[in-house]
Structure formats: C-alpha cells, structure tokens
C-alpha cells in the first residue's frame, strides 16, 4: 500500500466525514432527509467516494499506479461536490492541507494519468485485478466461456432485439452459474459473492443483456427466499433456481409506481387454496421466457398500511419467446405481457404485464402465512443482492469499453500516427482505467462484505451499485468519443456498451432515490 494513497484517502475521508457529521445534525440523523434533499444527495455521494477511497488504499500492489490516479481523482472531486452545500452545513469552503493537496496534485497530474493510459493501451485494456488461484480460475473459465459462446452472438442479439438464446441458459446452468451464492445445502455451489461478481463481470463484458443479467433474477429471488421463505420453500425452489431449471423474473414496478415501492397497488385476493392476482405491472425483465415471476402485490386492501400490506408471491407461468404473450388458466385467470422497446439492454425484453385473477397457490406465498405483509422487507433483502450484482455488471461493461477503445486507438491513425500516440488520448484512457479500478475496488469489497453479515453489508452494496454504474456510463461515453464518428455506428460494439450502460443507474433503485433513501439514510442514521 502506498503512503501517498493513504495520505490522500485519510484527508478526503476526513473532509467527507465532517460533511456527514454536519448533515446528521441538520437532518436529525436522517429524519429530515426530504427537507434537505440536495444536501443529503451530495453528502451521500461524497461518503460513497470516501468509501471507494478507503478500498483503493487496500488495492493490490500490482495496481499501485492506476489506484493512485483513481484515489487522487476521487479526492479532488470531493471538495467540488461539497462546495455548493458547505454554507448550509455551516462549513467553510472544503479543501485540503498542503501535504494532501500536493499528493492529490501529483496523482492527477497529466503525466501520471497519461502513463496509466499508455499502460492501458499497451495491454489492450486487459486490466486484470490480481486474484488468488481459485478465483483466478473462476474468472478465466468464465471469460473463455463468454468469448466462445456469447461474444459471437452479442451484436446480432442487440441489433435484432432477439431473446437470449436457450443455449446460453443451458450452458450456464451446466457450469453452475445460477447457483454461485446459493448454499450447498440447497443445491448451490456457494463459491461466495466474489466468485459470483467475477462471473457476472465476465459475462457482462461479453453482453450485459444476453448473459450478465441472466444471473440477476435468480440472485434476487434466491436471496428473498433465503431471507424469509419457509424451509419447504427453500428446499423446493433454491435447487431449481441454482440449477437453472427454473428461470425467474422480478415484478415490483407498476405503470404508476416506481421508486415509491410501498405504494404498489397490484392486488392479491384470497380464494380457496391460494390467492388471485389482479393489476398492472411494468418493466418486468425476462417475463416472457421466465418460468416464474416474483410478484410483489397488495394483500391488505387498506392502502394506509403502505409497505406492511405487501406480500411476495412466486407466480408460475408458461414460457414464451416473443415480444408479446397471453396466457390463460383453466379457472379463468389471465396474464398478458408486451415488451417495451428500448435502445439497449436488449435480449432480456422488459414487459408491461396485466394480471387478471391469476391464481397462485398458498404454498407460493414467500414465507407462507407468516409471510403475509412481509413482502416489502423480503423484496428489499433480494434487492441488496441485486445491487451488488449490478455493480459487477457495470464493471463488466466498463471493462469491455476500455478494451475496445484501447484496441481502436492503436489501429486508428490521424495526422500521420495512431491516435493512441497523442497525449490527450492517453490521458482519457488513463482516466477510463482508473475509474474502472475504483469501481472494482468498491464492488469487490462489497462482495466480500456480503459473505459476512448481509444486512450490515447492504449500504456498501448500494454504494458499489451507485458508483460502478456511474463509472460505466462515463467510461463507455468516453470510449465512444475516442471512436469518433465510428463510435456512433451500430457496427462498432462501443455503441452497444453506451446504450447498455445507460440503464444501469435506473434499475434496482434509480440513482437519485438510491443515493437519498438508501445510502443517505444509512450514512446519516449511524451514530
């Protein structure tokens, strides 16, 4: 670990810490978040950057130079982030002492960033995080699989908005990718969350929508069942999710209910032997192909009960492979779905759904009778895992953008030489590489934390999701810029990475809500 990185990190964390303390007082430990939204958003983001900095201090020695640039850049950004709100927090304009300022200036100096960019170009963007033997093998095996099976089809699937090929699912199932964080007792492989993240990352490097995101839904549902399912449900569903026999979709969002999940209005009414579900849902990804949909529905018609009136159901449905489907049950229940067209994230297809008296047996209420009214909490337990996994997805898309851009700047010549020979190109590549390293630092740390106390690791998983998704948007766009006009052409994959990355800050908690209500709340609540 470098002393300069430690110095930078300590100074930046102290700065963010003072803002957090003042914001705790201002918001009465988070009770008054909505009265001070801009303050909370900025403080929560600065706290996230401070956490990334802490993880960068621990980055492996082989990444020393790139981690140094990443740390200096983050530290430099924190005063700008806090400056507009400093007077509201009763703080003077934020800044650093001379020693920290000098270390930061050295880290963000063009020559330092360009050197990192030159190394990124020389390695064609293959910025590998050092791992132990087992995890290294996981990563190289998944990369080989993704290169062989996914990469040759990724562009076609995107251009024609095809459904994920069935072969991807069956091969991934054989390799155990759907059970990486399911306990062995329930048919999983339990290699831990870092193995799951590395797998996700490599699959997403090949294709966010046609491969990397296939793991998200089983992860979310498995974690919800582990958190609150009955023993019989764990035994019935977890092995089938882990083996890929059952593919799941997750349905929380509705046409008029997004971030305000407690207001979900889709109803579940008791009937003999179970419940019927009636209402509309929106943006249910993979709902066509899925065998089951985890549906969050209102079992208590008293809307004043809010989140306490919601229950989580595992809803069976037939498989469909098109952009539109309709299903009917013998007793008269119906379910219709129509995919909404999107510029990226194609392959999974995200559906608007319409349930009408769709029957679900009692056995498929997550948590059984005790699960009635607990759906919100169980869904949120699932989303913690989903957010971590999305940090991995973001790192994979970012890695792909860095690699393609590094190769492009070697091949593309202007004014008589490769554009990668220009200082400004190297500087941009250096920033891309350092941002990716920072995103990995927090995502891998969150994965390790999740192997311990999952509940306690929730805030860092949310920080990983927030930060890595922003990095993916920023780095893919920078990569596109370095491709010039060809970056806007569909035949170059960088345009796919840009389109795909843009969805990352939207789902599993749209960025402003994730920052305010998940990260802000947890950072400010701590005493």
Ligand X SMILES: Cc1cc2nc3c(=O)[nH]c(=O)nc-3n(C[C@H](O)[C@H](O)[C@H](O)COP(=O)(O)OP(=O)(O)OC[C@H]3O[C@@H](n4cnc5c(N)ncnc54)[C@H](O)[C@@H]3O)c2cc1C
Query: Can you give the binding site for ligand X, defined by CB under 6 A?
Result: 37, 250-253, 258-259, 283-285, 342, 345, 350, 503, 506-507, 510, 512-513
- Would you name the residues annotated as active-site residues? 508
Collapsing DSSP states into helix, strand and coil, what is residue 388? helix
Question: Could you give phi then psi for residue 310, rounded to 5 degrees?
Answer: -105, 145
d(CA 438, CA 459): 17
| CB 498 to ligand X: min, Å | 15
For residues 499 and 253, give the distance between their C-alpha atoms in angstroms, rounded to a whole number: 22
3-state SS class at 274: strand
Please state the closest distance from residue 351 (CB atom) to ligand X, in A: 9
For the bound state, the minimum distance from the C-beta of residue 284 to ligand X, rounded and expressed in Å, comes to 5
- For ligand X, the closer CB: 102 or 506: 506
Residue count (the chain): 527
Taking the least distance from each CB to ligand X, the nearer of 120 and 516 is 516
Strands (E), 105-204: none
For residue 133, give the 3-state DSSP assignment: helix
* Secondary structure, 3-state, 77-102: HHHHHHHHHCHHHCCCCCCCCHHHHH
Q: Which residue number, 258 or 373, has a Cβ lying nearer to ligand X?
A: 258
Round to whole Å and give the CA distance between 463 and 458.
9
- Residue 473 corresponds to which tokens in the numbers above? 């948007």
CB-based contact 337:288 (threshold 8 Å): yes
The residue nearest ligand X at its CB is 258
Report the residue number, 53 or 519, with the smaller CB distance to ligand X.
519
* 60 or 512: CB nearest ligand X: 512
Residue 169 beta carbon to ligand X: minimum distance, rounded to whole angstroms: 17
Minimal distance, residue 218 CB to ligand X, in Å: 13
Query: Which pairs with CB-CB distance under 8 Å and at least 24 residues apart come from 33-42?
Result: 33/516, 33/517, 33/520, 33/521, 33/524, 36/88, 37/516, 38/84, 38/85, 39/85, 39/88, 39/89, 40/515, 40/516, 40/520, 40/524, 41/512, 41/515, 41/516, 41/520, 42/81, 42/82, 42/84, 42/85
Which of residues 232 and 510 has its CB atom nearest to ligand X in the complex? 510
Bridge partners of 417? 414
């Amino acid at each position: 670990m470098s002393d300069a990185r430690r110095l930078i990190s300590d100074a930046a964390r102290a700065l963010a810490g003072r803002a957090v303390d003042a914001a705790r007082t201002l918001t009465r430990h988070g009770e008054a978040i909505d009265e001070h939204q801009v303050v909370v958003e900025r403080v929560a983001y600065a706290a996230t950057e401070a956490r990334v900095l802490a993880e960068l201090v621990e980055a492996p020695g082989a990444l020393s130079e790139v981690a140094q640039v990443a740390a200096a850049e983050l530290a430099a950004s924190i005063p700008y982030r806090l400056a507009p709100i400093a007077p509201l927090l009763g703080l003077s304009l934020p800044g650093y002492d001379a020693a920290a300022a000098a270390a930061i200036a050295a880290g963000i100096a063009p020559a330092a960033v360009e050197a990192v960019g030159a190394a990124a170009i020389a390695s064609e963007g293959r910025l590998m995080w050092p791992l132990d033997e087992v995890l290294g093998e996981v990563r190289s095996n998944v990369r080989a699989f993704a290169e062989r099976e996914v990469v040759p089809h990724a562009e076609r699937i995107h251009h024609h908005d095809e459904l994920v090929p069935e072969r991807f699912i069956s091969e991934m199932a054989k390799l155990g990718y759907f059970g990486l964080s399911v306990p062995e007792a329930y048919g999983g492989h339990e290699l831990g969350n870092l193995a799951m993240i590395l797998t996700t990352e490599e699959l997403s490097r090949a294709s966010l929508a046609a491969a990397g995101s296939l793991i998200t839904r089983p992860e979310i549902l498995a974690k919800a069942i582990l958190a609150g399912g009955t023993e019989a449900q764990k035994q019935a569903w977890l092995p089938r999710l882990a083996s890929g026999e059952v593919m799941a979709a997750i349905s929380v969002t509705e046409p008029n209910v997004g971030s305000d999940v407690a207001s979900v209005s889709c109803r579940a009414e008791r009937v003999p032997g179970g419940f019927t579900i009636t209402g509309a849902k929106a943006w249910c990804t993979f709902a066509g192909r899925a065998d089951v949909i985890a549906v969050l529905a209102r079992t208590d018609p008293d809307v004043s009960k809010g989140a306490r009136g919601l229950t989580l159901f595992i809803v069976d449905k037939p498989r469909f492979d098109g952009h539109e489907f309709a299903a009917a049950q013998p007793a008269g229940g119906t379910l219709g779905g129509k995919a909404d067209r999107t510029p990226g994230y194609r392959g999974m297809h995200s559906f608007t759904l319409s349930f009408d008296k769709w029957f679900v047996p009692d056995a498929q209420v997550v948590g059984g009778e005790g699960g009635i009214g607990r759906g919100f909490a169980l869904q949120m337990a699932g989303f913690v895992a989903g957010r971590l996994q999305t940090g991995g997805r973001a790192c994979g898309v970012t890695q792909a953008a860095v690699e393609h851009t590094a190769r492009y700047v070697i091949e593309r010549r202007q004014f008589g030489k490769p554009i990668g020979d220009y200082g400004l190109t190297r500087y941009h590549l250096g920033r891309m590489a350092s941002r990716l390293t920072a995103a990995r630092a927090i995502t891998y740390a969150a994965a390790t934390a999740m192997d311990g106390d999952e509940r306690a690791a929730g805030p860092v998983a949310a920080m990983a999701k927030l930060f890595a998704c922003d990095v993916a948007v920023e780095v893919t766009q920078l990569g596109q810029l370095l491709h010039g006009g060809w970056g806007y052409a569909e035949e170059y994959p960088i345009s796919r990475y840009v389109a795909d990355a843009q969805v990352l800050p939207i789902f599993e908690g749209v960025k402003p809500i994730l920052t305010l209500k998940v990260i802000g709340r947890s950072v400010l609540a701590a005493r």
